[in-house]
Amino acid sequence: LWAELGQVRLKRRQWDGALSCLAKAVELEPGSQAYVKSLGYTLVVSNRMAEAVGVLARVHGEAGALIEVSRCL
């Protein structure tokens, strides 16, 4: 539910709301790579690159996270 609400807010460009919802989704299901990735990419569009790298590193490793963030720019 939190992830879906986060996606709705993301599509509406409500970055802060999307981040809150996706962070809650990750908190409730920390093993969900899909939720972690969504949170990471939302941090990128929110121009919070250092945080995005930290989150995406959980899935891709640090080097992979840097590559993923650079692809989004």
pLDDT tens series, the chain, 73 aa: 999 999 999 999 999 999 999 999 999 999 999 999 999 999 999 999 999 999 999 999 999 999 999 999 8
Q: 48 — phi, psi (to 5°)?
A: -115, 70
What pLDDT score does 57 carry? 97
In DSSP notation, 9-35 reads HHHTT-HHHHHHHHHHHHHH-TT-HHH
- Report the pLDDT value the prediction gives residue 73, as an integer from 0 to 100: 86
pTM, whole model, 2 decimals?
A: 0.92
Q: Rounded CA gap, 3 and 20, in Å? A: 10
How wide is the angle at C-alpha 72 spanned by C-alphas 69 and 37, nearest 5°? 60
Contact 56, 37 (CB under 8 A): yes
pLDDT value, residue 43: 97
